Structure 1
Amino acid sequence: MVNYLSNEQIAEMMRQLTRARIENFLGQYIGTWRWWVLIILLIVPWFIWYKLVDKKRILEVTLFGVIIMIFTITLDEIGFVLSLWSYPVEVIPILPRLTSIDYTMLPIIFMLVYQYFSTWKSFLRALVVLSTVFSFVAEPIVVYFGFYILIKWLYWYSFPIYIVMGVLSRWIVKTLIDIERKS
């Protein structure tokens, strides 16, 4: 007979893990150069985005970015929980993801691609270039500097995911705009 852990036992294990992560964060990472880089990457790009975003399309572009953010956070959480990768340095230890990338860098860069490449053809081309750069340049750099540890993941797995995220997000936004215009 298999003895399964109770929900209370699992919750206690989660509390212990969270406590350990917070202690590790406070003892090893807060205030380090990598932590400061993440803080800067979390905040500064939003000011740049505000300067570059087309204010006439700000709701549309932002909706696209929020959808990208939802995909990114969800996929990042799944990958983290399944131990496909981990993040030794975090902005906030209770969020087990690379917050600066999930909440800022990816959404902003995707939003700018969405804004500047308005046809499906140009958007897809830009998306392939963006996915290539993210998968085979940015991710290895982030790994090299110790922000991201690959466990059961390869860079090329990310390539189609970035493309699918962009295509689905654009399709959702365009579909919602069409629905709004028809009503």
Structure 2
Amino acid sequence: MEYKENVKKMIDDNTNQAQEIIQQKIEIWSNHVVFSGLWWFGVVLSIIPWLIWIKYRKKDSTDRILYAGFYVIIVSLCLDVVGDQFGFWHYRFNVMPVLPTYFPWDITLMPISVMFILQIKPAFNPVIKAILFALFSAYIAEPFFHWMGVYVLTGWKYSYSFPIQIIIYLIAHYLSRRERFSPFYIKK
């Protein structure tokens, strides 16, 4: 189907404007953000929790817990991008300038928190664990990052995050309990 030339031009113009804004963001980041205190804070938050998890994880459950953790990473990244693109929030002092998400939150803090909670008292009621996780995430962690000046709310309330965090945890819990994996066989 052939599109009208004016539609193609609008799309191309919009793409060019977006690329110009991204270039401005990279320039601001490289001149003012990289190597700042809050940038280093983000770098530390991106690395140290993973090192702690590697040391203190349940070694015999690593694969199972990582499976749930990767789910949390994917969902966190997707929701963060959507929230940023719709203007519900944005981040300052990003570790990497071109990502519209806060890398330490989506790639480290959310999944590591969930993975540790999954392995602590694994028989404990998952709904209670989900509520505790959501309370901490929505009403302590998010306000802390807002107070630090990293997380800027522009139409979002912490209470909106609460049920989302519960759902994220409960699905991660469900995924961590899956046992129906078939082995890979190499045919000779």
Confirm or deny a common fold (TM above 0.5). Answer: yes
1:123 aligns with 2:121: no
Equivalent of 1:163 in 152, 156, 166: 166
Does residue 133 of the first structure (1) align with residue 136 of the second (2)?
yes
Whether 2:14 is the aligned partner of 1:13: answer no
Alignment correspondent of 2:185: none
For residue 52 of structure 1, report the CA deviation from its aligned partner.
1.2
- SS of equivalent residue, structure 2 residue 145: helix
1:73-152 aligned within 5 A: 73-119=77-123, 121-152=124-155
Q: Aligned AA for 1:92? A: M
Residue from 40, 55, 58 that aligns with 1:54: 58
Question: Which of 46, 55, 71 pairs up with 1:67?
Answer: 71
TM, length-normalised to structure 1: 0.91
Aligned-partner SS, 1:86: strand
- What value does the CA root-mean-square deviation take over the aligned residues? 1.5
If you compute each CA radius of gyration, which structure gives the higher value, 1 or 2? Answer: 2
Contact 1:113 1:123 in 2 (8 A): no
Q: Which moves more between the two structures, 151-160 or 10-19?
A: 10-19
CA distance in 2, matches of 1:132, 1:84: 20
Q: 1:117·1:123 contact (CA, 8 Å) conserved in 2? A: no
User: Cα deviation per residue 1:152-181 (whole Å; 9 max; x = unaligned)?
Assistant: 00011011000001112222343x42x227
CA distance in 2, matches of 1:169, 1:47: 21
Counting matched residue pairs gives 176
SS at match of 1:152: coil
Amino-acid identity (%)? 25
CA–CA distance in structure 1, aligned partners of residues 109 and 176 of structure 2: 20
SS of the equivalent of 1:49 reads: helix
In structure 1, list runs of 5 or more residues that go unmatched.
none
Residue 14 of structure 1: CA displacement? Answer: 1.6
Q: Hey, what's the Cα distance between the residues in 1 that align with 2:105 and 2:73?
A: 9
TM-score normalised according to structure 2 size? 0.88
Q: Helix, strand or coil: the match of 2:156?
A: coil
Secondary structure in 1 matching 2:125: helix
Residues of 1 paired with 2:35 and 2:93: CA distance? 11
Matched, 1:38 2:38: no
CA deviation map 1:119-169 (0-9, x unaligned): 3x5222122111111111111111011010000000110110000011122
